Amino acid sequence: MSQENQSVCKKFPPYLRIAIAFLLGFLAMAQPSHCEEATEDSEWIQLFNGKDLEGWTPKIKGYELGDNFGNTFRVEDGVIKVSYDEYEEFDETFGHLFYAEEFSNYILRIEYRFVGDQAPGGPGWAFRNSGVMLHGQPPETMGVDQNFPVSIEAQFLGGKGEDEGERTTANLCTPGTNVVMKGELFKPHCVNSTSKTYHGDQWVTVELEVHGNGVIHHIIDGEVVIEYEKSQLDERDKDAKKLIKDGNLMLEKGTISLQSESHPIEFRKVEIKLLEE
């Protein structure tokens, strides 16, 4: 109890002092703790500072690590933009923007939206198609002409129009990897989530809850839209084979990277909350 409250209580008989002290203590406990809220908010680490690409390095197919061919990845108006206005032809020039650190147990929150038209020469399947790679290989281990890092991909898709069918987002793709889903080893390259379709240029928020080699959840609007576990290297893949050490296939950590797959996309938030596991 503060000195101010103590002085107030001394003006009353002993039995009232006890009652007042109890009431003041109860009210103090009932008040919302702004300190606790601030602590919760501060747990989120901003991987994108809103100003530049500090901490991020591009790796674009056909070019050395760090060569941002065509100014593909840039920061304008406070967002990371993936753009192709300096490309004559896309020609399978797939790119990835890698964050400097590796992570194992975390929640990754990303806000993205598709904009504009697909780059000339972009493959049909890449229309309004991008994503974020989890548990990825270090970019310096990638071949110059390697299409995608060996990783787990949370695939982002945008709708083709209000009346043109469903295209779920926060799907799963597995370049050079496999996962266990519903108790069985899952080997197909991609599988759809249960999300709704997001048309137009609206912002979409996706959370990826990653527990090392355990369960990974893809979450939209508070709902888990797909889950799997035991992310692992695929022995059938030539790029993954180079990463296998002592026969261990399991992936417990790795890089995070944002994709460039021929359709312009913007990322206005990339933040992470580390989990204690």
Residue type, 40: E
CA angle 144, 146, 151 (to 5 degrees): 125
Residue-range domain boundaries for the chain: 3-31, 45-274
What stretches in the chain show pLDDT beneath 50?
A: 2-12, 15-16, 18-39
Q: What is the CATH topology of the domain spanning 45-274? A: Jelly Rolls (2.60.120)
Six-digit token string for 237: 């893949």
pLDDT of residue 276: 87
What is residue 166's predicted lDDT score, i.e. its pLDDT? 86
pLDDT at 37: 36
Q: What is the pLDDT of residues 169-211, one digit of tens each?
A: 999 999 999 999 999 999 999 999 999 999 999 999 999 999 9
**Non-local CB neighbours of 81 within 8 Å, separated by 6+ positions:** 73, 74, 75, 264, 265, 266
**CA atoms of 75 and 151, how far apart (whole Å):** 25
Query: For position 277, what pLDDT does the model report?
Result: 72
- What is the distance between the alpha carbons of residues 171 and 165, in angstroms, rounded to a whole number? 16
